[in-house]
Chains A and B, each alone.
Chain A
Amino acid sequence: MSMIEVKNLKKSFGGDIVLDGIDFRVEKGQTVSVIGPSGAGKSTMLRCLINLETADGGDICISGNYLMKDGHYVSDKQRRAVCARMGMVFQNFHLFPHLSVLKNLMLAPVNAKKLTHEEAHQKADALLKKVGLDGKQKAMPSELSGGQKQRVAIARALMMEPDLLLFDEPTSALDPQLTGEVLAVIQELARENMTMIVVTHEMGFAKGVSDKILFMGDHRIIEEGTPDEIFNHPKDARITEFVSKIL
């Protein structure tokens, strides 16, 4: 059973079609990168997967549990249960600015009664260590650099122990010299076989870390393949053009 299976996913805003039948699957432990020109619908696709946008049609199935089947969403309660298996990291971090780093991490699992206060505290300490931010527990988000904020955001998502982690351009808001520290954390997660879908413009990263790459353009997945297939033997001219422009 795939970790995520998407069939014929459709979405339009007003009359504008943004997703025109998306099909793909991600197996447990895979890292899948999504690349493609701006406006292709990459963010919208991720947002549909985690229920931040309401899709118009298709199937979304997360390790055997449907979020949407034949264009019909499951009940609100089931939706929440399905989405609880996923975490998301945003381009602009969206840390809670009024809470310390530690509280940013602890709030969700304590709220959801997933962990006790003490357990959450311990887990937060461990995750901060993992992302290289041990000692920043008491810092406020406004005191952190962009790279540090994004690493806190990743740790915050990991607190909920998701089966699948979605990243929407996690380094696009960062100064170039800060992207490396964030990509290193994602790479480490890939090594630990975290299942991830990463929308990114970092071609070197996509090449190095991905089990599979989806190239999106014109509201569809134009091609899917290994990094070697996409970067060295693309079938579609649009990929050649995109890759040459971005490198």
Chain B
Amino acid sequence: MNYIFSLTMSMMEGVQYTVGLFLITVLFSIPLGLALTLLRNSKNGVFRGVTGFYVWLMRGTPLLLQLFFFYFGLPNLPFVGQYLVLGRFEAACITFILNYAAYFCEIFRGGILSVDAGQYEAAQVLGFSKWQTNFKIVFPQMLKVCLPSISNECITLVKDTALITAISVTEILYFAKAAVNRDTNATAYIVAAVFYLIMTYGLTRLFRWLERKFHY
């Protein structure tokens, strides 16, 4: 019991990175994803092409590879590499934001396509500007459609945070692995699993509440 307690306490230190990465990623990748969606749906073919390529690239390659690229790869680029040395956690945040924005972009795109054309026409004849139409009419309706996918994505994100142990950020799994190696005892993995379960369960409840709130 004491052993489990001490494991829990040491992992609590890792929680700040896990939760920190989660929150920072959600906070920045959702607006970035939304902006990408608007570009992806824009009339300008160059914007559409560039965002399409970006989404293809980010979704078509492993997140772990991207993480290695930003942390280990960038500093080795010729000429500019020396200016691109990132801290471990910084590299993790940037990679996750860029990667998740691509997923959110695709989720939002589907949601926007589901908004009836009549909504835009009603908004236009009532004198709404483009921004007002997007923010007051389209996005709220899109959000309702997208909530289940956003929820899935956030739960995946919680679990993906464990990847950053690969660049030695001291998050939950990092402590678990260290404890297992030190004590030759697998209990730490189980304690870590409970941490992740608590977080994903909390998120599931949060999104269920949001879905009820957005039900109209």
A residues with CB within 8 A of B: 50-52, 80, 83-84, 86-88, 90, 92, 94-98, 107-108, 111-112, 140, 142, 156-157, 160
Contact = CB atoms under 8 A, between A and B. Distances in A.
Contact of A52 (B121, B129, B140): B121
Given A96-B137, A97-B141, A98-B140, A108 B121 contact: no
10 tightest Cβ-Cβ pairs between the two chains A and B: A108-B126, A94-B122, A94-B118, A88-B125, A98-B140, A112-B127, A140-B216, A111-B132, A84-B127, A98-B216
Contacts of B128: 108, 111
Given A96-B119, A97-B141, A98-B216, A52 B124 contact: yes
Contacts of A50: 125
Nearest to B214: A98
Per DSSP, chain A at the interface is loop
B144 interface: yes
B119 A94 contact: yes
Interface string B116-148: 101101101111110010001100110010000
B216 A52 contact: no
B136 A111 contact: yes
A97 B216 contact: yes
Q: Which of A51, A86, A96, A156: most chain B CB closer than 10 A?
A: A96
Given A87-B125, A88-B125, A107-B136, 8 more contacts: A51-B124, A52-B124, A94-B119, A96-B119, A96-B122, A98-B216, A108-B127, A140-B216
Contacts of B137: 96
A157 B144 CA distance: 26
A90 B216 contact: no
Nearest to B116: A94
A90 B124 contact: no
Nearest to B128: A111
Given A90-B118, A94-B116, A96-B119, A52 B125 contact: yes
Nearest to A98: B140
30 contacts: A50-B125, A51-B124, A52-B124, A52-B125, A83-B125, A83-B127, A84-B127, A87-B125, A87-B126, A90-B118, A90-B121, A92-B118, A94-B116, A94-B118, A94-B119, A94-B121, A94-B122, A96-B119, A97-B141, A98-B141, A107-B126, A107-B136, A111-B126, A111-B127, A111-B128, A111-B129, A112-B127, A140-B216, A156-B126, A157-B126
